[in-house]
Amino acid sequence: MTKQIHVAVGVLLDDQDRVLIARRPLHVHQGGLWEFPGGKVEPGEEIQRALQREFEEEVGITPLAAIPLLKIAHAYPDKSVLLDVWLFRDYSGTASGREGQAIEWRPLVDLRAADFPAANAPILKALGLPSELAITPALNSQSELLALLQHYQSLGLKLIQLRQKHLDASTYLDWYLQAGDFCSSHNIRLMANCSPETITGKFSPDYHCAASYIERLSQRPVPQDKLFSVACHTLQELQLAEQLGADFVLLSPVLPTKSYRSEHCVGWDGFASLANAVSLPVYALGGLQRDDLPRATAAGAIGLAGISAFLV
């Protein structure tokens, strides 16, 4: 059995949403492809220390306040790797290819899977997530839904969760299909929020699983080319979402809402602690407005999600 190699990987984003990448030397494994800086974790070495050492040696940068993004186990024909991926925006130093390698600050929108080793595909998927996720409020008609989608589109939103708990399964599917037509024509991803039993071979959308349904799942309910997210409130739910192979989670409530009083909220410190306990992209949810995004990312969030935040 091939021994798994533990690799620390750092995703460094600047204030223009560009990511630092480097080209692998031609003579090494997967040579000529682009990669996120990092390297092998030495025996007994802490992951944060490995990340710092590799960045300083490779590109002359010291990472500051890195947060876990995800872990990826991948088997190539000739080796097996565990990529321990961390995300950070704060750093000291000036980037340069200290080992003679080409480096580049590439905009997130220009990242292409073909340019990277196959094991990097989940990283690119995570980096493709937008910083804002809108959740629909309860609506009375499909005409209201269409008007709301037009409003979201005017705000520039690219990821929407269709949450309509009052609809039966058949009606929900009708609404989803109509909303999907609008979203696909405006380059918006629409996630279904429904019971796991609704997901079938004929209906396999980008899917969000509510916390009340999570224990019904024994495996990821949709293919890898679809987004799969889970609503979480506790560390146990976050860990279960990780085991199920979720692409990201929504962690709530951060701040008080109409449904949650302050004593039931995790707060920003609690959010940061929980978000850092798992290797998954985490959206902050609950009592937030759009201008809370910098606070959310500082606490380790990939972005923020909400209902009322996107209604004005």
Domain end among 124, 145, 173:
124
- Total of domains in the chain: 2
Whether 117 and 143 map to the same domain: the answer is no
Whether 120 and 136 map to the same domain: the answer is no
The candidate with the shortest Cα–Cα distance to 244, out of 257, 232, 256, is 232
Whether 11 and 67 map to the same domain: the answer is yes
How far apart, in Å, do the first and last CA atoms of the chain sit?
57
Whether 149 and 281 map to the same domain: the answer is yes
Whether 105 and 145 map to the same domain: the answer is no
Say if residues 118 and 76 touch (Cβ distance below 8 Å).
Answer: yes
Query: Reduced to 3 states, what is the DSSP secondary structure of residue 17?
Result: coil
Tens place of pLDDT per residue across the chain (312 aa)? 567 889 999 999 998 889 999 999 888 777 899 999 999 999 999 999 999 999 999 999 999 888 888 888 878 777 788 889 999 889 999 999 999 999 999 999 899 999 998 888 889 999 999 999 999 999 999 999 999 999 999 999 999 999 999 999 999 999 999 999 999 999 999 999 999 999 988 899 999 999 989 989 999 999 989 999 999 999 999 999 999 999 999 999 999 888 778 788 999 999 999 998 888 899 999 999 999 999 998 898 999 999 999 998
Domain end among 85, 106, 124:
124
Measure Cα distances from 62 to 49, 53, 95, 119 in Å: 10, 8, 10, 25
CATH number of the domain to which 200 belongs? 3.20.20.70
**How buried is 41 (Cβ within 10 angstroms: 0-12 exposed, 13-18 middle, 19+ buried)?**
buried
The percent of the chain in helix, strand and coil, each rounded to the nearest 5, is 35, 30, 40
Which pTM was predicted? Answer: 0.86
Domain end among 67, 97, 124:
124
Whether 222 and 246 map to the same domain: the answer is yes
The candidate with the shortest Cα–Cα distance to 51, out of 87, 104, 98, 103, is 87
Q: State the residue range of the domain holding 67.
A: 4-124
Whether 39 and 185 map to the same domain: the answer is no
Whether 139 and 231 map to the same domain: the answer is yes
Count how many Cα atoms sit within 13 Å of the Cα of residue 219 in the half-sphere of its side chain. 3
